[in-house]
Structure 1
Amino acid sequence: MLRLLISLAAALFLAACGADRTYDSQERVDSARYVAGPPATITLFTGINTQNGTGAHSALMVNGSQRVLFDPAGTWQHASVPVRNDVHYGITDRMLLFFLDYHTRDHFDVVEQTIVVSPEVAELVLNKIQAYGAVPKAGCANSISSILRTVPGFESIKSTWFPKALRREFATIPGVTERYLRDADVPNTHGVIMVDKDGNRVN
């Protein structure tokens, strides 16, 4: 009996730590393709727990030949957004607002850091996140830092498991701009009204 209980516990543990391997069809991915236009950019999103100041999550948006969101080990989803492993396709401005509103809520803010890159660098990052595969739980910052440190211009980024540490590393890259977002629609967490830390509306 003890051996059975241990086996069941191990199975549950592995299931909880497993990566989400959602893999939509190529037809859905192609039909959702969204091109935002120049300039090519890389954007890091960092969720911050405002109660204890810890980093809650990391995600990476690439705007190049198309705009996609790499949300490793994330839980956000939308019926209009196809997903392959942890790459979300069709990130229009509206879908981006839905994503940001999902993460900016009571006790959670988001730091948005953006840098303009060459189209070649954006395409390289896009290829790398597409090839990375599904990310296990708690691996968001580790997967993003592991990818970025292999990209020209981002080599100084150290590998880390911690979202706030990745945010600090990303901030050292010359040319990075930063925006701090918080929800102005609490307790209605389904709204898409957000303000920056100075109270200015951002959408």
Structure 2
Amino acid sequence: MRNLLCLGAVMLALAGCAAPQQPNADAETLERVAYRYPGPATLTLYTMINNRTGRGGHASLMINASERVIFDPAGSFYAKVVPERDDVLHGITPAVEKAYRGAHARSTFHVVVQTVEVTPEQAQKAYQLAVANGRVPGAFCAQATIGILQQVPGFESLDRTFYPEKLAEQFGRLPGVVTDKYYENDSADLQDGLVRSDAALSAAEE
């Protein structure tokens, strides 16, 4: 019974990690928007941290491999110009990446951005695992992200956890990780941020 109560508390704490499922984009759409950021292969862990409690509300992983995508397990982000398939966001241009951070950073949360340079083989392995993973149940964002990372050579030491902030702590101790924090002081309503980022990206496309 105690284990069930603890699990229930975790699920409640990670309620922000659950989101309505977006329809899967077709292969033609994904091919049309495919984008790779110039420069080295990288993995970037995003952790959305509550400014009051210090607890993590969501975790996701940006992968710069043969294309740049964001594995956003049970995530809330959406934009008309950013197609999604099975919790993987495609077409992650600099403008989309900025919109992703900006939609999650608000008066109540900031975003911890942790980037590590990897080999092209490591990045491609993470990419293949992400696109093959399938949709993730709500509140399992950290578990799903770790599950992918643990299968990438060099990241096997990460321990499983339900808590995004504990994943961030582990990831930050890996060699070569560069950590930044991103703040905005706008509306506390995540949906408001999503609507504004969607509108800005759509306007840029016109």
Residue 175 (structure 2) aligns with: 174
Normalising by structure 2, what TM-score?
0.80
C-alpha contact (below 8 Å) 2:88/2:130 kept by paired residues: yes
Tell me the CA shift for residue 22 of structure 1: 2.8
Tell me the amino acid that sits aligned with residue 34 of structure 1. Answer: Y
CA–CA distance in structure 2, aligned partners of residues 185 and 55 of structure 1: 19
Displacement of 1:77: 0.5
Tell which structure's C-alpha radius of gyration is larger: 1
Aligned length: 176
Residues 19, 103 of structure 1: CA spacing in aligned structure 2 closer, same or farther, 3 A cutoff? closer
State the partner residue of 1:32.
33
- Report the equivalent of 1:110: 111
Which residue of 1 is the match for residue 44 of structure 2? 43
* Residue 162 (structure 2) aligns with: 161
Partners of 2:52 and 2:108 lie apart in 1 by 6
Structure 2 vs 1, CA of residues 185 and 140 (structure 1 numbering), >3 Å: closer, same or farther? same
Measured in 2, the distance between the counterparts of 1:161 and 1:56 equals 10
Q: Which residue of 2 aligns with 1:84?
A: 85
1:157-199 per-residue CA deviation (whole Å, 9 max, x = no partner) reads: 01111100100111121000000110055578547xxxxxxxx
Greater relative CO (CA pairs within 8 A, separation 6+): 2
Q: Which amino acid aligns with 1:94?
A: A
Separation in 1, partners of 2:76, 2:22: 12
Change (3 A) 1:80 1:115: same
Give the Cα separation in 2 of the matches to 1:18 and 1:40. 29
Moved over 3 A (4+): 184-191
Q: TM-score, normalised by structure 1?
A: 0.82
Q: 1:18 to 1:69 in 2, by over 3 A?
A: closer
Is the Cα contact below 8 Å between 1:38 and 1:64 reproduced in 2? no
- In 2, Cα distance between equivalents of 1:92 and 1:85: 19
Alpha-carbon distance in 2 for matches of 1:33, 1:182: 28
1:21 deviates by 6.2
Instruction: Give the SS at the match of 2:110.
Output: strand
Residue 67 of structure 1 aligns with which residue?
68
| Structure 1 residue 149, shift from structure 2 partner | 1.0
RMSD across aligned C-alpha pairs, in angstroms? 2.0
* Matched-pair contact (CA < 8 Å) for 2:107–2:185: no
2:24 alignment counterpart = 23
Tell me by how many angstroms 1:20 deviates.
2.7
Quickly say closer, same or farther: Cα 1:135–1:182, change in 2 above 3 A.
same
Q: Equivalent residue of 1:183, what SS?
A: coil
Residue 121 of structure 1 deviates from its aligned partner by 0.5
Instruction: For structure 1, list consecutive stretches of 5 or more residues without a partner in the other structure.
Output: 1-16, 192-203
| Greater mean alpha carbon deviation, residues 64-73 or residues 181-190 | 181-190
Gaps of 5+ in 2: 1-17, 198-206
Structure 2 residue 123 is matched with structure 1 residue 122: yes
Distance 1:122 1:141, change over 3 A: same
For residues 48-90 of structure 1, give each alpha carbon's deviation from its aligned partner in whole angstroms, at most 9, with x where no partner exists.
Answer: 0111111110010001111100110011101011110100000
| Percent pairwise identity | 38
Look up the match of 1:53: 54
Contact between 2:46 and 2:61, CA under 8 Å: does it hold in 1? Answer: yes
SS at match of 1:65: coil
For residues 113 and 56 of structure 1, the distance between their equivalents in structure 2, rounded to whole angstroms, comes to 16
Contact 1:41-1:114 at 8 Å conserved across structures = yes
Whether the 8 Å CA contact 1:20–1:136 is kept in 2: the answer is: no
Question: 2:145 — aligned with what?
Answer: 144
